[in-house]
Structure 1
Amino acid sequence: MKRMRDTPNRDRPREKLAERGPQALTDAELIALLLGRGTKARDVRQVAGDVERYLKSVKDSPSYNELLEIDGIGSAKACEIMACFELGRRYLGNDGVSGHRIACPEDVLPLVAEWRDRKQEYFFCITLNGAGEVIERHIVTVGILNQSLVHPREVFAEAIADRAASVILVHNHPSGTLEPSTQDLGITRQLVEAGSILGIRVLDHVIVTKKGYVSLKELGHL
């Protein structure tokens, strides 16, 4: 595992969050950002990885004593983690993403509502379980889309981690036009083929704007 100090500045959690927002960070990166640093014996990425695995294993809020059992977590960090969970519970409650059922393209819109009128293009991968329920919404890229930026590796890495059965791709058009570009169609074909190899179906690719949306599946491109 690459140590944080060996990671280019642009790929470090703090710089990624400042440039792309907290939604662009993985769980482990968010935890690493919260921890700030590791110990002499363990890099912050290692400690964050252990914390992430622990958090995924608990059903409710983390336990103070169990956090202390993680190598690299002391009393202060355990309290900070628990405080973050409590603040999230008080202010946010249900995130409106996990468990959301997707039955038609229109069901995607609430999940990307705040990005529909952004001045940059945001490309999302929404992962779903076998029942068609949302596991998570991931931002893959920010900026002009092309096949070198929207690489299958980046799109499906989180889907594999989520153990997703399928994904729905979404991106916004700052121009306001709902007409899929040649680039949009090329990216879609590439990702459908990659998903087929991985056993993760691409159910749809939805283009959204402030005024509407279009489904590439409904247009016959999937």
Structure 2
Amino acid sequence: MNLKYLSDVELLENFMPKETAQNVLHEYSSIYNVMNNATEKQLKSFKGITPVRAKKILCIKEMMSRMQREKQKQLKIITTPRSVMEYFSFLEDKDKEEFWVMMLNTKNGVIGSKCVSIGTLNMALAQPREIFNVAVRYMASSIIVAHNHPSGDCTPSMEDIAVTKNIIKAGKLLQIECLDHIIIGRQHSISLKQEGVIK
């Protein structure tokens, strides 16, 4: 059976009646949005989605989340901006801005990453004190920060650039270098290092 040729409705029919699948897709536009945005309460609000059916869908959502976390764990050394973009690719699905910091050791090995701010639809600016509080606790030698633009447009705003410059200044005082600032969009992501914002 070649499942890739099935429509979104046909795929969802494996978890709910056809009419329900059509209603769900009408509400969420695509199966992608269903799996990323629909909560348990929202799923159960549709006629035809029983608690058992909702649980199956939620299990798929959890498996997707665990696959992403495992992908992050497998990244050991940062060599290019592209590897950081892939690491933070899960942010492209968020409907609010999240600001993350990745901590690195002296050999650019990934010590860990942490969300330091969750904002509104278009704002999640983090202060240097929040970022470096985490970096110091992890004994990081350097950091890379990243945040998403839920609008899908990853063009850096004036605020993005200003925050980046403040982080760089604070990092110099603490001797924890900010190597890059990645902005994640739905179709494209950018590195402010590559854009020349970070020298």
Alignment map for 1:120-139 (pairs within 5 Å): 120-139=96-115
Q: Deviations over 1:82-119 (max 9, x none)?
A: xxxxxxxxx88967337621111110123222221211
Larger of the two Rg values belongs to structure: 2
Q: Which amino acid aligns with 1:103?
A: T
Taking the aligned partners of 1:125 and 1:200, their CA distance within structure 2 comes to 12
Match of 2:176 in 1: 200
Taking the aligned partners of 1:95 and 1:119, their CA distance within structure 2 comes to 22
Native 8 Å contact 1:130 1:165 kept in 2:
yes
Q: Deviations over 1:4-48 (max 9, x none)?
A: xxxxxxxxxxxxxxxxxxxxxxxxxxxxxxxxxxxxxxxxxxxxx
> Greater relative contact order: 1 or 2 (C-alpha under 8 angstroms, separation 6 or more)?
2
Taking the aligned partners of 1:98 and 1:158, their CA distance within structure 2 comes to 21
Match of 1:220 in 2: 196
1:170 maps onto 2:146 in alignment: yes
Taking the aligned partners of 1:193 and 1:204, their CA distance within structure 2 comes to 13
Taking the aligned partners of 1:110 and 1:187, their CA distance within structure 2 comes to 23
Q: Deviations over 1:165-195 (max 9, x none)?
A: 1000100001111210000001001000000
Unmatched 5+ stretches in structure 2: 1-65
Shift of 1:211: 1.0
Match of 2:159 in 1: 183
Native 8 Å contact 1:122 1:142 kept in 2:
yes
Unmatched 5+ stretches in structure 1: 1-90
Instruction: Give the secondary-structure state (helix, strand or coil) at the position aligned to 1:116.
Output: helix
Match of 1:119 in 2: 95
TM-score, normalising length: structure 2: 0.60
Structure 1 residues 211 and 94, CA gap change in structure 2 (3 angstroms):
closer
Instruction: Give the secondary-structure state (helix, strand or coil) at the position aligned to 1:156.
Output: helix
Match of 2:137 in 1: 161
TM-score, normalising length: structure 1: 0.54
Q: Deviations over 1:52-80 (max 9, x none)?
A: xxxxxxxxxxxxxxxxxxxxxxxxxxxxx
Match of 1:105 in 2: 81
Taking the aligned partners of 1:163 and 1:95, their CA distance within structure 2 comes to 23
Native 8 Å contact 2:89 2:184 kept in 1:
no
Structure 1 residues 161 and 99, CA gap change in structure 2 (3 angstroms):
farther
Shift of 1:203: 0.1
RMSD: 2.1
Q: Which amino acid aligns with 1:207?
A: I
